[in-house]
Structure 1
Amino acid sequence: CKVCVGSGMAVCRSTSRKGDNNCFVSHYSFFLFVLSEITQIIQVDLDLKYKANIRDLFEEFDNFQEGAVIGIAREMQPVYRHTFWQYRRENPQTRVGEPPPDGLPGFNSGVLLLNLEAMRRSKLYNQLLEPGMVQKLTEKYHFKGHLGDQDFFTMVGMEHPELFHVLDCTWNRQLCTWWKDHGYSDVFDQYFRCDGEVKIYHGNCNTPIPED
């Protein structure tokens, strides 16, 4: 379940299920075409703890480069190193699934900035919402995801990073360490490191959030 906050819009909740791409497309089509008077939305998971005023996050929209339609932080575990294993084996020099700063570790959708106006205008983004385009990308990357919108954004980001404004990790400081204990302890810290004062803690996979 997610909460959405937008200028001129009441708080709303998304009940789209993880791994259900049809729900994902319907959910974002509702934002794009039904709520046409709304231009920007911040969508957040419920397992967050705020150390800064979320209103400050709206300033990140001003940092979007031309062509960017979504603001999102990188995934801080090697989950996509694992998920893209077949593509990585066939393309040993790829950046897909590699850790930052030079790799493409994928995205985490716990904190999302949606520039709805830019999303409506973007011919490229709207083409990528077509089922045929999604199928084409899943076949190219041998992708079998289970995290819903996060998987979609990650897969699209591998192909079209220009659509995304990457948020600093301090805006979505993920705490889950599941993959450290499941085969990736040797590289885990390359993904998990986050320097700077945390603005939002994300207690993903039911991880306890530090007390004040």
Structure 2
Amino acid sequence: GGGLSPDTAIEAFLPSAPGRPSGQVVFHDVGVLTDKLFPVVEAMQKHFSAGSGTYYSDSIFFLSVAMHQIMPKEILRIIQLDLDLKYKTNIRELFEEFDNFLPGAIIGIAREMQPVYRHTFWQFRHENPKTRVGGPPPEGLPGFNSGVMLRNLEAMRQSALYSRLLEPGQVRQLADKYRFRGHLGDQDFFTMIGMEHPELFHVLDCTWNRQLCTWWRDHGYSDVFEAYFRCEGHVKIYHGNCNTPIPDV
């Protein structure tokens, strides 16, 4: 109800422009997909949303973890992008990052650039004072941000490890181990399994997902914020998360 019609959506997201490549646009019904993946989605919602009715509790934020199960088999690789992005380079360069995946890697994703997971993992960090979990880069493991993601669907389908990690019992076991209770949907799941199995991920340079949100700087973490937020190099994609304006550069 109240959503864009398919035709309107295409015009909104793919405005007419000279030289715009032709292609096929396929719409998927979120309700149908959720029904197919109900056991997976239900387990995720239990651990990685702030309760029913909240923004990230919507099933659409959990479908991505099992995208390889619902996409047509002939689709081998996809890039998943948030809408609050501004591109400063040809997206084809991002596709070339697939060539840098090591054996066993199934997802390309950038680090989270705020201390959100320092906060989420506070109990685990308190009980394990020498842990890298939730710490700032380069030595620490700050977690991931799902605004820009590369998915090797074929590798996801073939990964016995990843299939096992999607099982509700495994999700619960890891959530218990890390004392993890998140609220950011699929991003939380990838962050949690990334602490346990970093080999599943190809870490994108921060310039591929230069997040601009500074919410956590003003909410108790100003002393460590810059260690997470720092990003050297020419920015390729700006991410205006938490409604942050993107600079005109």
Structure 2 CA distance for aligned equivalents of residues 192 and 12 of structure 1:
36
Where does residue 63 of structure 1 map in the other structure?
A: 100
Where does residue 32 of structure 1 map in the other structure?
A: 69
Where does residue 109 of structure 2 map in the other structure?
A: 72
The count of aligned residue pairs is: 205
Larger Cα Rg: Structure 1 or Structure 2? 2
**Cα-Cα RMSD:** 2.1
Amino acid at match of 2:25: A
Structure 2 CA distance for aligned equivalents of residues 183 and 166 of structure 1:
27
User: Do the aligned partners of 2:62 and 2:185 also contact (CA within 8 Å) in 1?
Assistant: no
Amino acid at match of 1:114: R
Amino acid at match of 2:172: Q
Selected match of 2:201 from 152, 164, 168 = 164
Where does residue 5 of structure 2 map in the other structure?
A: none
Question: Helix, strand or coil for the counterpart of 1:67?
Answer: coil
Where does residue 93 of structure 1 map in the other structure?
A: 130
Deviation digits for residues 36-75 of structure 1, max 9, x if unmatched? Answer: 1100000000000000011110000000011000000000
Deviation digits for residues 85-119 of structure 1, max 9, x if unmatched? Answer: 00000000000000000100000000000000000
Question: Helix, strand or coil for the counterpart of 1:209?
Answer: coil
Question: Helix, strand or coil for the counterpart of 2:56?
Answer: coil
Structure 1 residue 24, shift from structure 2 partner: 5.0
Relative to structure 1, the CA distance from residue 90 to residue 189 in structure 2 (aligned partners, 3 Å threshold; closer, same or farther) is same
User: Do the aligned partners of 1:19 and 1:145 also contact (CA within 8 Å) in 2?
Assistant: no
Structure 2 CA distance for aligned equivalents of residues 134 and 178 of structure 1:
28
Where does residue 10 of structure 1 map in the other structure?
A: 25
Structure 2 CA distance for aligned equivalents of residues 9 and 75 of structure 1:
32
The unaligned stretches of length 5 or more in structure 2 are 1-12, 14-22, 35-54
Where does residue 211 of structure 2 map in the other structure?
A: 174
Structure 2 CA distance for aligned equivalents of residues 11 and 71 of structure 1:
23
Structure 2 CA distance for aligned equivalents of residues 13 and 149 of structure 1:
19
Question: Helix, strand or coil for the counterpart of 1:135?
Answer: helix
Amino-acid identity (%): 71
User: Do the aligned partners of 1:25 and 1:129 also contact (CA within 8 Å) in 2?
Assistant: no
Amino acid at match of 1:18: Y
Selected match of 1:155 from 161, 175, 192 = 192
Determine if the alignment matches structure 1 residue 201 to structure 2 residue 238. yes
The unaligned stretches of length 5 or more in structure 1 are none
Structure 1 residue 33, shift from structure 2 partner: 4.2
Moved more, 166-175 or 9-18: 9-18
Deviation digits for residues 176-205 of structure 1, max 9, x if unmatched? Answer: 000000110000000000000000000000
Amino acid at match of 2:56: K
